[in-house]
Structure 1
Amino acid sequence: MSVRRSPQTVDDLLPSPLPVRFVAEDGTAVEPPAGYSAPADGQLVEAYRRMVLGRRFDRQATALTKQGRLAVYPSSRGQEACQIAGVLVLREDDWLFPTYRDSVALVSRGLDPVEVLTLLRGGWHCGYDPAATRVAPQCTPLATQTIHAVGMAEAMRRKGEDGVVMAFIGDGGTSEGDFHEALNYAAVLRAPVVFLVQNNKYAISVPLAKQSAAPALAYKGIGYGIPSEQVDGNDLVAVLSVLTAAVTHARTGGGPFLVEAHTYRMDPHTNADDPTRYREREEVEQWESADPLARLETYLRERGLLAAEDVAAAHKAAEEYAARLRDEMNADPRADPFELFDHVFAEPTPQLNEQRALLASELTARED
């Protein structure tokens, strides 16, 4: 594993000309670029278990939208290698700043799945305690979480902590001004933050070619003085290796690091989307052959690290996890309508008090 220190020349900032890869689409090993080494076998087996669970969680959450138990759900099927690797390289005292599509990362970090889905269920808050979990609320406004991530990283540095912040962002988010402000801010401050761009090829219905003319999104870090790398985002082994190096770089005083993971969103943008309007079925089928879960399973089986009983046990645990989630989500939540007025202002305004009184009178009339 290479640890890239303070860049001295432009060449030190450049990503690899091709995405870093350890495992081909068919699960066979390939020679990675110099400077990167494979993660420990035990970590890869644990990653597989989490990917199986994450895939099942994603399927269950998608089903819950069809049952009316969730208002919306943005699936991340096909992007599990990015999300699981992004969590595995972090310590408990590190921070994660996710987007709305990163629910699999959150449950992999150990958050309660019902709390993770609270926001997508229609709750007024994110459902979990960010301070206790060191996971920021899932961010729907594009790229705003990247600036927050830099601020947190700088705060940790000033407090003398050696923590790292991981900021997830999609390819569409890199076209937002907040993303560029965050990169500049992080570089100037040398903040210990890693930006993980999950390039799934579409910003809702807009393909990457209509978003950026850069040879790769990884090159967007160069102009700000941030060392960058690109990686095959469906190759869990490669993503783990690259992110481990990036986190080590940030934790040991090297400053920010940008990683672009080339992956693909297999399902619609959300359950309200019809992807057939903007992409062909042949394209989806091509990416299905590069499924990150199937690729890792084949790789581990070939190396003798995964047996049939291990696969069965992982899927059994995932089914039990999904069943518990389904049962808990089938219970109707108890909503207090007066929570609408909490946390709006430190001191309620006359208008807010008037609205609260009006709601109270309407509820009383309904009861009568």
Structure 2
Amino acid sequence: MTPDPTFGPDLVEVFGPSQSDGGPELVQLLTPEGERVHHPEFDLDFDADELRGFYRDMVLTRRIDVEATALQRHGELGLWAQLLGQEAAQIGAGRALRPQDHVFPTYREHGVAYCRGIDPLQLLGLFRGVDQGSWDPAEHHFGLYTIVIGAQTLHACGYAMGMQRDGVVGTGDPARDAAVLAHFGDGASSQGDVNEAFIFAASYNAPVVFFCQNNQWAISEPIERQTRIPLYQRALGFGFPGIRVDGNDVLATYAVTRAALQRARDGQGPTFVEAYTYRMGAHTTTDDPTRYRLSSDVESWKLKDPIARVEVYLKRNGLADTDFFEAVAAEADDLGVHLREGCKALPDPQPLDLFDHVYADMPAELAAQRDGYADYLASFEGAEVAR
């Protein structure tokens, strides 16, 4: 690594050349070459069905991303936040959850949403501009997407503290004990909200797992401009453990997240999980990453593709045959048709709908505003307004 004069030559000593691979502290169970390795703290045994399930989930998640990106390019979505290359981080974390756990996402957790049983078509409504998120957070235990960077970590911490007071933490009942999973990116780790959430979580021993997908870029700012130490080490300053996991390894991500969530459910407090991965696509479809990063870096990370390594492992060990891979590909094609046709069929909202989901019981002041806006819309010739 060439020293950056902005920070001084000591930056190289802190990060070291090994940081490009996550460093020696990286928890890994499946190498980029598809070789199974073991870890003294987080090793798990996976049967063939589990491994095939991880593969299928990641393939379908990537198809969601590819189709949504294409829909945006065709003018059907106003924007799309891509996750290309981060499928293992999301599926590993999503599958580690229990039904009673609750997730607070950013605007990029499409794979986690899929794991929580949300129809991917519902994700498109927000980016098409026809709703603010149409799924029920209580039903799926998955919050609405948060656009304000890092704000969801405070929401997650407060929700986790509420779980403590509801008596669903540390009871020893696996069907009752619950935890919160809060997603954010490396860029959000520099936000005040995130650091405040760390303080509250540590102070109250809240059952929350802070899951950071470190994809190396906060839009156009590299991780080296945000921190002089690996992100997971920040947790120690707040008084709770931090772990760095290979975010392109679905097995390791699952194992680490599962352990962190169980620690939270048992009443042992928060954990910071840094999923070390890479954003192979753009930050969003309005971004041009070729302006600020090297194509050689992207090519090197393509060799660590999270889907390819599982596919190699399955084939090498005779755990999946041609029929399985063809079936998954066909399912992905069907999902693509569902998203393309369903997106174009999403109904446009009525203008007054935006007043309907602010309060459970609409206060008089808001009702007056609604009526005033309805009168304004009705003043246009030929307008029909549903009151």
Q: Structure 2 CA distance, aligned partners of 1:181 and 1:306?
A: 46
Deviation (angstroms), 1:16:
8.9
Task: For 1:361 and 1:132, locate their aligned partners in 2 and report how far apart those are by CA, in whole Å.
Answer: 40
1:23-42 → structure 2 map (5 Å cutoff): 23-30=30-37, 32-41=38-47, 42=49
User: Residue 282 of structure 1: CA displacement?
Assistant: 0.8
Would the aligned equivalents of 2:125 and 2:346 in 1 still touch at CA under 8 Å?
no
Distance in 2 (alpha carbons) for counterparts of 1:153 and 1:17: 32
- Distance 1:351-1:51 versus aligned 2 partners, 3 A rule: closer
**C-alpha distance in 2, partners of 1:116/1:365?**
30
Q: Distance in 1 between matches of 2:243 and 2:104?
A: 20
Equivalent residue, structure 2, for 1:277: 291
User: CA distance change for structure 1 residues 106 and 366 in 2, over 3 Å: closer, same or farther?
Assistant: closer
What SS does the aligned partner of 2:345 have?
Answer: coil
Deviations, residues 283-330 of structure 1 (Å, cap 9, x unaligned) = 111111100000111122222222222111111111111111211112
What's the CA shift for 1:24? Answer: 1.6
> Which of 125, 128, 136 is the equivalent residue of 1:129?
136
CA distance in 1, matches of 2:44, 2:311: 16
- Residue aligning to 2:151: 144
> 1:254-273: per-residue Cα shift (whole Å, max 9, x none)?
11111101101111111111
Query: Does 1:205 find its partner at 2:220?
Result: yes
Match of 1:183 in 2: 198
Q: Are 2:96 and 2:255, in contact at CA under 8 Å, matched by a contact in 1?
A: no
2:281 to 262, 267, 289: 267
- How far off is 1:189 after superposition? 1.1
Deviations 1:166-191 (A, max 9, x none): 11110000000111111111111111
Q: In 2, distance between residues paired with 1:203 and 1:363?
A: 47
Alpha-carbon distance in 1 for matches of 2:357, 2:87 = 35
Alpha-carbon distance, 1:343 to partner: 4.6
Q: Residues 338, 208 of structure 1: CA spacing in aligned structure 2 closer, same or farther, 3 A cutoff?
A: same
Paired with 1:306 and 1:348, the residues of 2 have a C-alpha distance of: 61
String of CA shifts for 1:217-270, please: whole Å, max 9, x gaps. 001110111111101110111111111111111111211111101101111111
Q: Report the equivalent of 1:359.
A: 377
Q: What SS does structure 1 have at the residue aligned with 2:162?
A: helix
Which position in structure 2 is the counterpart of 1:346? 363
Count matched residues: 351
Q: Is the 8 A contact 2:352 2:370 kept in 1?
A: no
Q: 1:77 aligns with which of 78, 84, 109?
A: 84
Quick one: distance in 1 between partners of 2:162 and 2:45? 30
CA displacement at 1:33 relative to structure 2: 3.1
SS at match of 1:357: helix
Tell me if structure 1 keeps the 8 A contact 2:214–2:277.
yes
SS at match of 2:144: coil
1:16–1:230 Cα contact (<8 Å) kept: no
2:71 aligned residue: 64
Identity fraction in percent: 41
- Which of residues 78, 96, 101 is equivalent to 2:103? 96
Partners in 2 of 1:234 and 1:187 — Cα distance? 28
Is the partner of 2:380 in helix, strand or coil?
A: helix
Structure 1 unmatched runs, 5+: 1-14
Mark the runs of 5 or more structure 2 residues left unpaired by the alignment: 1-21, 169-176
Where does 1:190-229 land on structure 2 (aligned, <5 Å)?
Answer: 190-214=205-229, 216-229=230-243
Deviations 1:113-139 (A, max 9, x none): 221221111134211111111111111
Deviates more, 1:329-338 or 1:203-212: 329-338
Residue 120 (structure 1) aligned with residue 127 (structure 2): yes
Q: Is the 8 A contact 1:16 1:229 kept in 2?
A: no
- Larger displacement relative to structure 2 (132-141 or 307-316): 307-316
* CA distance in 1 between partners of 2:239 and 2:51 (Å): 32
1:331 to partner: Cα distance: 1.4
Specify whether residues 60 and 365 from structure 1 end up closer, same or farther in structure 2 by C-alpha distance, changes over 3 A only: closer
Residue 322 (structure 1) aligned with residue 329 (structure 2): no
On the 8 A contact 1:168/1:196 being kept in 2, the answer is yes
Aligned to 2:173: none
Matched with 1:7 is: none
Per-residue deviation at 1:359?
1.4
Q: Is the 8 A contact 1:205 1:278 kept in 2?
A: yes
Instruction: Tell me which residue corresponds to 1:155.
Output: 162
- 1:340 Cα offset (Å): 3.6
- Which SS does the other structure have where 1:310 is aligned? helix
1:20 aligns with 2:27: yes
Give the CA RMSD over aligned residues. 1.9
> Counterparts of 1:316 and 1:221 in 2: how far apart (Å)?
43
